[in-house]
Structure 1
Amino acid sequence: MTAETLMIPGIAMPASRIALGTWAIGGSMWGGADDVNAAKTVEEALAVGINVIDTAPVYGFGHSEEVIGRALEAHRDRVILATKVGLDWKDGKVFRDSRASRIADEIEASLRRLRTDRIDLYQVHWPDPQTPIEETARALEKLVRDGKVRALGLSNFSPEQMDEFRKFAPVAAIQPPYNLFEREIEGTVLPYAKDNGLVVLAYGPLCRGLLSGKMTAQTTFTGDDLRKVDPKFQPPRFAHYLQAVADLKAIADRHGKSMLALAVRWVLDRGPTIALWGARKPEQISGVQDVFGWSLSPQDMAEIDAILARDIPDPVGPEFMAPPPRA
């Protein structure tokens, strides 16, 4: 595969424009962990040219980082390793905590689990309204000076919050939700990234599988599956989104591509973006090569917008995923 690449400020290695997203590898909210397949998934991602691996401590409460650390031990210098900071948990409940003391603990725990001496891209997972942004930024800037972190990123931050953070520490990348169905960043975060030379790591490019083209009205979700509480997967909205996917597929067919490839290509065509391709089994990496070597025309983009406006009368964003502040 000839993967497209771009440069993340502060990181010397060109980054593949598809990253492996590893939330599901952690197991929590995705039906449990499967470490054997997780390791094979990482190997397959590397084999097809993906060199950005994105994880977080909260994915499986440390488990995703542990799995990634083992899988990458022999490949560390081939990858851009990204993880996050600023969430804590108690009794399985996640909450925000970006205090300097929490950051000092988290970096050491992540380095240990990931079996490495540095994090290439260290991202604040969510803004913490109870901690001054200056405190968080200064603590992270010190990690860069100490050589434990190469570049800093912010996830789920507004432009105003990013402006405040950047007074005290440089920012290389931002990670917001972004896909065909969740486009809130187009009026705020995306133009901010373009204006300030930041790379956008778009999470959820397939919108929890909705844009994979594999779901039907009979698809059900069991156990602790996140989609049991996602409003997009509840009636009547689920039917609206499935109709949009069916209509979008005609555009994919016109290009000789899968619905999945169309959804990810759309993200890549919107700006300085890297799409996080979530997978927990090696076969879920299949199709990455179909994303590259083509692009969507202005006519395609206009047709996509018309389909969304027609088929989804009551759109909803990913707000349900936001963790609460500390008690």
Structure 2
Amino acid sequence: METIEIGNSGLTASRIGLGTWAIGGWMWGGTEEADAIDTIQQAVERGVTLIDTAPVYGFGRSEEIVGKAISQGGLRDKVVIATKVGLNWGSDEKPFRDSSPARLRQEIEDSLRRLDTDVIDLYQVHWPDPKTPFAETAEVLEGLKKEGKIRAIGVSNYSPAEVDDFRKGGSLDAVQPPYNLFEREIDNDVIPYAELNGLTALCYGALCRGLLSGKVTADREFEGDDLRNNDPKFQAETLPNYIAAVDDLHALAQERFGKSVLALAIRWVLDQGPTIALWGARHPRQLDAMADVEGWHVDDAAKAEIDAILKRHIPEPISPAFMAPPLKAA
């Protein structure tokens, strides 16, 4: 498994990280704890050393499962635990942004308890909260770092200008944006900013919520609170265009590299800069394709073919903005 240093933190992690949003169950139709624990432990066996979670993933459920899997498997010294901070919710379980100092200090204690650890390796602000000065948020996290409760600091869903403001108050090692073949808004800002400033980019949604797995069909239905029911890409009028693009991408991957579209999608993210691709899974079988990502690269000619396919089928890409939580409670 390829590895990368996370900023200047001294932490080294696998370039494929396990994303555990689905493991929390919320917005993914539920989860089975035994399968989830098995998935985490098998991911580590396959060389994955970065586990990314967040309090809002199941409102504590994902962190608890990650903590159990690591503790029961005796894996703490083998993994980099990345979690997040800065979202709040009420009894209605509707998240909103809250990076107030009091919230940050409450969340660190809750996350340490749920994850069954005394230190979090990478602590990331989940969404920018304009109600609190970004530099003030950084100062609080820098204080937690000095207290030994966290080892490295990151931000998620921040623009370069917001990152600049954040860095006025403390150090920064990582950014976490949405990034995949279909959602490339950061090509011209966050990715070059990360390269220029020595930051590592943990890219979430690397398979675009399963769309780039090659397994989504036009008649696929999603149950319960599955967020894809609200994703514009998965609606009847747009999904066929994305599926057509996936089909052509799969043909390219097979012809040029003997790989699946899933492997192509992950390899493309890894070849874009100082990146980690977050691989979402909640069943061990969803890890099987990881071995296909190692040992090759998407060359410039193939990247040009990919761009042509996307332009042909999706001339007006749809952004991931639908996932953004509100600035305050409803």
Aligned to 2:83: 83
CA deviation after TM superposition for structure 1 residue 235, in Å? 2.3
Q: Cα deviation per residue 1:147-183 (whole Å; 9 max; x = unaligned)?
A: 1010000000010110011111110000000000000
54, 57, 67: which one pairs with 1:56?
54
Question: Does structure 1 residue 210 correspond to structure 2 residue 208?
Answer: no
**Secondary structure of the equivalent of 2:118?**
coil
**Secondary structure of the equivalent of 1:252?**
helix
CA contact (8 A) 1:237 1:314 kept: no
Matches within 5 A, 1:187-226: 187-226=188-227
CA deviation after TM superposition for structure 1 residue 247, in Å? 0.6
Aligned to 1:66: 64
CA deviation after TM superposition for structure 1 residue 10, in Å? 4.5
Q: Cα deviation per residue 1:123-148 (whole Å; 9 max; x = unaligned)?
A: 00000011111221111110011110
User: How far apart are the structure 1 equivalents of 2:7 and 2:284?
Assistant: 30
**Secondary structure of the equivalent of 1:286?**
helix
Aligned to 1:160: 161
Aligned to 2:185: 184
CA contact (8 A) 1:10 1:150 kept: no
Matches within 5 A, 1:1-327: 3-73=1-71, 74-90=74-90, 91-254=92-255, 255-327=257-329
The one-letter amino acid paired with 1:47 is: E
User: How far apart are the structure 2 equivalents of 1:14 and 1:139?
Assistant: 24
Contiguous gaps of at least 5 residues in structure 2: none
**Secondary structure of the equivalent of 2:278?**
strand
The one-letter amino acid paired with 1:126 is: W
**Secondary structure of the equivalent of 1:53?**
strand
The one-letter amino acid paired with 2:304 is: A
- What is the TM-score of this pair, normalised by structure 1? 0.98
**Secondary structure of the equivalent of 1:274?**
strand
Residues 86, 71 of structure 1: alpha-carbon distance in 2 compared, 3 angstrom cutoff = same
CA contact (8 A) 1:26 1:60 kept: yes
The one-letter amino acid paired with 1:76 is: R
The one-letter amino acid paired with 2:273 is: G
CA contact (8 A) 2:8 2:198 kept: no
**Secondary structure of the equivalent of 1:287?**
helix
The one-letter amino acid paired with 1:319 is: A
Residues 10, 148 of structure 1: alpha-carbon distance in 2 compared, 3 angstrom cutoff = farther
CA contact (8 A) 2:218 2:236 kept: no
User: How far apart are the structure 2 equivalents of 1:125 and 1:96?
Assistant: 8
Q: Pairwise CA RMSD of aligned residues?
A: 0.9
CA deviation after TM superposition for structure 1 residue 13, in Å? 4.2
User: How far apart are the structure 2 equivalents of 1:4 and 1:246?
Assistant: 28
CA deviation after TM superposition for structure 1 residue 14, in Å? 2.2
Identity %: 60
Q: Cα deviation per residue 1:174-207 (whole Å; 9 max; x = unaligned)?
A: 0000000000001110110000000000000000
The one-letter amino acid paired with 1:318 is: P
User: How far apart are the structure 1 equivalents of 2:166 and 2:180?
Assistant: 26
Contiguous gaps of at least 5 residues in structure 1: none
**Secondary structure of the equivalent of 1:168?**
coil
- What is the TM-score of this pair, normalised by structure 2? 0.97
User: How far apart are the structure 2 equivalents of 1:110 and 1:34?
Assistant: 21
CA contact (8 A) 2:9 2:173 kept: no
The one-letter amino acid paired with 2:306 is: I
CA deviation after TM superposition for structure 1 residue 273, in Å? 0.3
The one-letter amino acid paired with 2:315 is: P
